[in-house]
Structures are given as structure tokens and as C-alpha cells.
Amino acid sequence: MEDMLFYDRMQFAFTITFHYLFPQLTMGLSLMIVYFKWKFLKTKIDQYNDAAKFWMKIFALNFAMGVVTGIPMEFQFGTNWAKFSELTGGIIGQTLAMEGMFSFFLESSFLGLFLFGEKLLGHKLHFITGFLVFLGSWASGFLIIATHSWMQHPVGFEILENGKFVLNNFGALFTNVWLWPSYLHNQAASLVTASFVVAAVGAFYVLNNKHHEFGKLFIKTGVIFGLISSIIVAFPTGDLVAKNVVKHQPVTFAAMEGIFETETGGSEIVLIGQPDMKEKKLDNKIAVPNILSFLTYQKWDAEIKGLNEFDETLHPTNVPGLYYAYHIMVGLGTIFIGLMLLAVIQLFRKKLYETKWILWSIMFMLPFPYIANTTGWYTAELGRQPWLVYNLLKTSEGASPTVSAGNTLFTLLGFIGLYLLLGLLFLMLAGKTINKGPQTLKH
């Protein structure tokens, strides 16, 4: 049973990690495309319109990959997690069905019109199609996170005698206190990824002295969007998410921060340290006294409960993994703010395009927003364990009892091989598109 559960979780973790490499770019990029198109309508400068069409090509590649890699996850609800689907399908089926029927079709339908319908529609209607693509992609994220938020903080339901969860308050799904902070945090993080991608492509063009004017436009747009979104990820959205965890999942918060023992007189914030699960302490830690108490409760001496306050059966099943995922996310987020702030300062000093070390740094940092987003999701998912529905349904109770560990491992290896090929194909197509650059023909 343990092997079966391990491979079920590994397969879903792998497929969803690979899948989310693509939506995290499309959601943020859709907003930047709308911005480029809006700037064109306002200024009549063709460069903005060409930029919008160029990035929509990248968007379309990501969207296609997101569709292809997203479908297997839906099937896993019926194969590997059939018991979970049977018990909670009356609730999570609502939001997942809405995501497929409304958001996905809205996004995919108007994507085609944006890509191929500019001459037929005219620029104003073309802008509207781009806006509807943006609306569809952000609505999709909202409905997925509504599902996730219910699993983290279940509301508006009752449990029948047969153990099935049924919805008794549909509106509660969308007024869940967990939903809006998580959604806004996620969308801002997606915009960070898109900003770094746009700025990195611009830096590539400027450093290679090709498509130079587009390069400068992409850098300028990317670093401004990047600074704003990086700050929003930290505050207020990240702060609000953390406060939700403190209030509703205090044992998770203790594990995230590496607090093994409750500290009186204020809790320190740990910058670096390694969890020692045997001795129940952090090794080689570097910490700042009382800061965590102030950030959490705005009181320097506020008490934050440690893991010692909770029964060990309620502890997250992988405390070191949760701790490291959280600290990688926070550390990278801090670096993003610092780098983008330096870039914006140089931009306003009119020296950014000549400051090569910043341009190289932006290019070098390209993979790291993806890592930060991934570790952010790992923090949320590892923090909820050992529960599928927090405090109500354990992960071990949601797995399919009839699917063997061998079957799951075999299909996991198949996914790894297939996704490797898909990833290489995507990189080839995206690289070719970027190398070719924006088209400057007037229509």
C-alpha cells in the first residue's frame, strides 16, 4: 500500500510540475500582450502591435503544451485517485468542470481569432480578442485555485452517511477566505515569470545586437512589470497567504519556518538552516530575533507555536521538503525584487541597456521564476499532507485500491520519456520563434 501511494503521488507530482511550467507563463504573458496591444491603440506605434503578435506566438506554443500535458492529470483523478474523486467529486467536479467548459473554451476560441483574425476584425476588435484570451486564462487559474483552496480550507459542504462530500453552499466556494489571497499570489507569481521571460528575450536581443529596438522595448516592459509583480508576490499577497496558514494550519506554518519548539518572548526568522528531524532542531542556522513574530502578528514578542505543540500524527509528512521548498521560494523572491529594482533604477537613469552585467543577470535568472513557482506549489501541497482535504480526508484514503504500484511506475516512466520529447520539441519551436524575432510587416 505504501509503495502504491508513493508512486501515485510521484506520478501526479511529476505530471503537474511539468504541466505548470506552461500555464504560469501564459497567465502572466496574456496580461502583457494586452498591454502591448493597448499601447498600440493609444500611440499608433507599430512596434507595440508587432510585439503583441510576437508574444502571442510564444503564448500559443505554451498553451498547446499546457493542453497536452494537462489532459493526463484529469485522467489520474479516475485512475490513481478514484476514491478521492468518488468522495469529493460532487464538490471539486463543480469548479473543474467550469474551468473546462467556460475558461478553456473562452481562451482557446479567442486565441485563434487573435492569431489569425487581425485583418478581418480590425485593431479594436483584435484587442478585444486578446483581452478575452487574458480573461479566459485568468479565469482558468481562478477556478483551479478555487478547487485547491477548498482542499486546503474546506467550506460550504456536508458529509453524507456514505462518506461522500456534497456541496450545500455553492457561493462558499468563491468566498472562501483561502481563495483570494492564494489566487492573487499565484497570478502575481505568474506575472513574475512572464516578466523575466520578456526581459530575458529583450536582453538576448540587445546583447547580440539583433532586433535591437524590440530588445529595448522588451527589457523596459519586463523589468517594470517584473518589479511591480515581484513586490506584490511578497506583499500584500504573500503576507496574506502566510497569515491564512498561521490561522488555519498552524502546524504547517511551524514546519515551513523550521520552528520545532515554541519560543517565548518572540520568534526569530530563520534565513539559513538545515532541519535535523532526529534531534528536532535546525542545524547551522542563521536567524534574526523576533522578526517572525512581528511579520506575523505585528508584535515583537508574539508567540508562534512550534511543532512540539502538535501531535506528531498531524505533522506534515515531509518537514524537510516543506521547509526547503518554502525557503527557496522566499529566497528567490527576494532576489527577484533586488534585481528588478536595480534594473528599474538603471532604466530611469537611462543606463540600463549599456549595463551589461544586469542584462546578463536577467538572462541568467530566466529559469529561476519557474523554480520559485514550483517550490511555491510544493510548499502548499507538502504543507497540506498527510491530508487531501485538510483535517477531513487523508491522502492514503483517496488512492485507488485496485491500481498496483507496478502499473503506476510503468506509466510514470512512460510520462517521463514522453514529456522529455515534448519538452525538447517545445524548446526547439520556441527557440526558433525567438531567434526569428518579431515580424515588422505592416498590415
Could you tell me which residues come within 8 angstroms of residue 49 by beta carbon, excluding any fewer than 6 positions away?
Answer: 36, 37, 40, 123
pLDDT(24) > 70? yes
Helix axes 368-384, 319-348, angle to 10 degrees: 150
Angle among Cα 368, 371, 374 to the nearest 5 degrees reads 150
pLDDT digits (tens, 9 = 90+) for 30-83: 999 999 999 999 999 999 999 999 999 999 999 999 999 998 988 999 999 999
Given CA atoms 327, 154, 142, 93 in this order, what sign does their dihedral have?
Answer: positive
pLDDT digits (tens, 9 = 90+) for 114-169: 999 999 999 999 999 999 999 999 999 999 999 999 999 999 999 999 999 999 99
Angle between helix axes 2-19 and 368-384 (nearest 10 degrees) is: 150
Which spans in 99-178 are helix H? 105-116, 118-121, 123-152
- Quick check: 443 pLDDT over 60? no
Over its C-alpha atoms, the chain yields an Rg (Å, rounded) of 23
Contact 355, 308 (CB under 8 A): no
> Could you give the count of Cα atoms lying within 13 Å of 109 in the half-sphere of its Cβ?
11
pLDDT greater than 70 at residue 1: no
Query: Is the Cβ–Cβ distance between 95 and 143 less than 8 Å?
Result: yes
SS3 label, residue 63: helix
C-alpha distances in angstroms, 107 versus 113, 133, 208, 390? 10, 5, 34, 32
Q: List the Cα angle 85/87/89 in 5-degree steps.
A: 50
pLDDT tens, 88-102?
999 999 999 999 888
Residue type, 48: Y
The yes-or-no verdict on residue 442 having pLDDT over 60 is no
* Least confident segment among 97-111, 320-334, 338-352: 97-111
Model pTM score: 0.96
Q: Are 9 and 174 in contact (CB under 8 A)?
A: no
**% residues pLDDT > 70 (the chain):** 99
Name the average pLDDT for the chain: 95
- Is the bond leading into 154 cis (omega within 30 degrees of zero)? no
* Under 8 Å between Cβ of 372 and 192: yes
The Cα-based distances of 191 to 32, 115, 188, 437 in angstroms read 8, 21, 5, 22
pLDDT score for 391 = 96
Closest CA to 54 of 39, 70, 33: 33
Q: Give pLDDT tens digits for 357-381.
A: 999 999 999 999 999 999 999 999 9
Whether the CB-CB separation of 356 and 227 falls below 8 Å is answered with no
What confidence category does residue 441 fall into, taking pLDDT thresholds of 50, 70 and 90?
low
Whether the bond between 386 and the residue before it is cis, its omega within 30 degrees of 0, is yes
